[in-house]
Amino acid sequence: MAYSARRASSIRRSIFLENDGTLTEEQLHRRELHKFIFSVVKIAILLIIWAICTVYIILTPPHKSEEIIVPVPPNEKQAIKIDEDPLGDSVSVVLKGNIDLIATMHSKYARDNPSAIEVAIELFNDKSNESSWISRVWKVYVAEADSTELNTVKKRFKLDDDLKRAFVSDLMIDKGMLIRAWSNPDTTLQLTLLSHHTEPLGMSVKIDANPFNESLSVWLGLLLLIMLYVLIGFDITDRTFAALMAATSGIGVLCILDDRPSLQEIVQWIDMETLMLLFGMMIMVSIVSETGAFDYLTVFAYQLSKGHIWRLLFYLYMFTGVLSAFLDNVTIVLLMVPVTIRLCEMLAINTLVVLICVAIFSNIGGTLTPVGDPPNVIIVSNSFIHQSGINFGNFVLHVFPGVLVAMLLGFVLIYYMTRDKLKDTGDQLLRSIAALEKQAENSKDTQYSHTIHRHIEVLRERLEMEKTQQPKSEEHFEETLKHLKEHQRIKDMPLLIKCCIALGIAVFLFLLSSIPGLKGIMLSWSAILAALLLLILANRSDVDSILERVEWSTLVFFAALFVFMESLVVMGLIDCINDITTDIIMGVDEDSQMVVSILLVLWFSALSSAFVDNIPITTLMLKLVIKLGTNKSLGLSLHPLIWSLVYGACFGGNGTLIGASANVVTCGIAKQHGYDINFRHFLYIGFPVMIFTVIIATIYLLIAHCLFTWH
């Protein structure tokens, strides 16, 4: 599995190139020169970024403000003097204690919690014993009495024009340093805490009177985000390496801004729930692949079709979609693509078209459950989303209608788009044979070269057959079925039974996580426990061979992406995007705000996911959706926005070859078998299907949540 992903990544970087066989020697020489220049420029730019980040990370210690432990008695204001005068337009405050994190960050969920600490910045006159200026109050909600967890919250208080008028108009220079003096020497700036809790509390307080420039940090964050999208979208480098570079650059920028996070903070940024869920599912599917179950089910689908090509394709696409709903769709295409290629070659139908459609339906089917597609894993594994009431059961319930209609009508659209292309494979076969011959010449592995030559002979026989007949249909049914049954069968029935038991336990635990009273059962632990059960039942001594097939590069990609996105949060970019989106939504009538929100989230995530991998898009959009859904001034329900993001990210991945990981893996495996799926091939089928299915999702969401208010 890991090998296939590496092959897919290398193939992905060549999808925009022409076929070498059609170029002259001069054109090939010019191409090699361009590639060399491009490679030198890329390495030079990455080295500069690396050098800057390295210098600042080495020279900048973790940012530490002085920590003060403050007793906070009930209904009594506590004041902390801010010794350092602010030179900018904001003051940063960090509180740590027995804090209700969800209620504090999203006050919409604090209606039933009256226990709050009012935090504010005041300009206090010592002589008159009065405050001449008070900032907006920040409410920090206290957790339940039996909670022992200490949480940290952060707030940046804006210093408005009224306060700035209390400063001397000019900055004075004292020993080379800029300082700011007050017009009234009796005034001081102080932080106040007023508790409405019934019991005395203790809070750890950190005050930074001169935090980094937020405007500069937003622009730097935007620049880093564009860099990541360019590296991934134009396939300049491997996406895992791109994410690692982006995460390191994000930490480097925070060092430049003198706000370097500690190693403990960076580790906390990584969503272990998501990584555990993916890891558990990858282990289970790698063992299932050894049983031959997928090959057998494909033969079963052909037997049901009675030799009718389109009936067979309907079963194949639906089968791929349903499997992708309950297992990771990237792993499903790793297993299904080789089987599909063999099936297409046996039936003499256009392999490229069928492979593209298999990838498309894996993305549509993967939308159905929290474990089917990586974007869904990211969404449901988020702790806030889990606490908001979204679980395996209601996720499937809300997403199922749109996915069902999209799969059925999507098949109808594909039928009309590709019905005249199934038999047009002669040119493609010639290109496939030429590509395989080139692979055989360059291969140093004798066994692998022998396998390629056997495959070439099969393709040549198929090419001769297609000169005299149409694609095989019902008249060749018995012959083809017999051949398939001889070569595609269950390899290990006892292991298959054990796999079914473990997968059944996994699905059962997924469903149990929907029960509110069972708080300990999470999707991540369900997958890990089911994977451990399967390893016990399989009684394998060579666990290393199973671990080798885990997509470690995908897990590292996720971890790096989480760190990068959290660094953007610290820089203030997510808040800035949220403010712009909120202004757009508030600019329409209150009755239309839900409609506009659904359309914005759905179509922005879909179109973005089409041209950039949908995983970083989901990570970015999820933070935005949570802020929109918890904004009191908007009054939007969170759940419809989550369903909009699910449909947009998953359906949008069908737009182009680089939109979803399943597409890239399909292309890589196809290339190994001599079938070159390029960007244009996928765009021709995938983009219309993406637009069509997103329209279906739009209609469904507007009917369900705007007309009938299902939420």
Instruction: Write the pLDDT tens digit of every residue in 356-400.
Output: 999 999 999 999 988 788 888 888 878 788 778 888 888 889 999
Phi/psi region, residue 258 (left: phi>0; alpha: psi -120 to 50; beta: rest), is left
Give the pLDDT score at 18: 43
Domain ranges of the chain: 74-199, 425-469
Give the pLDDT score at 9: 44
Residues 504-541: b if buried by 16+ CB within 10 A, e if exposed: eebbebbeebbeeeeeebbbbbbbbbbbebbbebbeee
CA distances from residue 280 to 1, 366, 479, 498, 502 in whole angstroms, order as listed: 15, 17, 40, 16, 11
Which tokens sit at 363?
């993305």
Which tokens sit at 174?
């004292």
Strands 90-97 and 201-208, by their bridges, are: antiparallel
| CA proximity to 480, closest of 348, 584, 603 | 348
CB atoms within 10 A of CB 54: 12
List Cβ neighbours of 610 (8 Å cut-off, separation of 6 or more): 652, 653, 654, 655, 656, 659, 687, 690
DSSP notation for 250-281 = HHHHHHHTT-PPPHHHHHHHS-HHHHHHHHHH
Instruction: Write the pLDDT tens digit of every residue in 605-645.
Output: 898 888 766 777 787 788 888 877 777 667 778 889 999 99
Give the pLDDT score at 3: 42
Inform me whether the pLDDT recorded for 181 exceeds 70.
no
The percent of residues above 70 in pLDDT, for the chain, comes to 79
Give the pLDDT score at 324: 87
Tell me the C-alpha distance between 583 and 577, whole Å.
10
| Weakest-pLDDT range from 188-197, 238-247, 255-264, 670-679 | 670-679
| Weakest-pLDDT range from 9-13, 24-28, 157-161, 555-559 | 9-13
pTM: 0.70
Please, what is the average pLDDT of the chain?
A: 78
Q: H or E element: which one contains 66?
A: none
The percent of residues above 90 in pLDDT, for the chain, comes to 15
Mean pLDDT of 207-211: 79
Which tokens sit at 96?
């740590």
Give the pLDDT score at 700: 93
Question: Where does the pLDDT of residue 248 fall: very low under 50, low under 70, confident under 90, or very high at 90 and above?
Answer: very high
Tell me the C-alpha distance between 551 and 556, whole Å.
9
Question: Where does the pLDDT of residue 711 fall: very low under 50, low under 70, confident under 90, or very high at 90 and above?
Answer: low
Instruction: Write the pLDDT tens digit of every residue in 583-601.
Output: 777 777 777 888 888 998 8
Judge whether 644 and 320 are in contact, CB under 8 Å.
Answer: no
Tell me the C-alpha distance between 542 and 635, whole Å.
55
Question: Which residue do the tokens 């432990």 mark?
Answer: 69
Give the pLDDT score at 690: 94
Mean pLDDT of 288-316: 79
Backbone angles phi, psi at 138, to 5 degrees: -110, 120
Tell me the C-alpha distance between 103 and 107, whole Å.
5
Give the pLDDT score at 272: 84
Inform me whether the pLDDT recorded for 105 exceeds 70.
yes
Give the pLDDT score at 10: 45
Inform me whether the pLDDT recorded for 60 exceeds 70.
yes
Mean pLDDT of 224-246: 82
Tell me the C-alpha distance between 663 and 653, whole Å.
8
Residues 275-302: b if buried by 16+ CB within 10 A, e if exposed: bbbbbbbbbbbbbbbbbbbbbbbbbebb
Q: H or E element: which one contains 180?
A: none
Helix/strand/coil for 645 = helix
Inform me whether the pLDDT recorded for 695 exceeds 70.
yes
The listed range with the strongest mean pLDDT (63-67, 84-88, 453-457, 615-619) is 615-619
Mean pLDDT of 122-147: 78
DSSP notation for 602-616 = HHHHHHHHHHS-HHH
Inform me whether the pLDDT recorded for 498 exceeds 80.
yes
Q: Give me the sign of the Cα torsion angle 435, 441, 445, 450.
A: positive
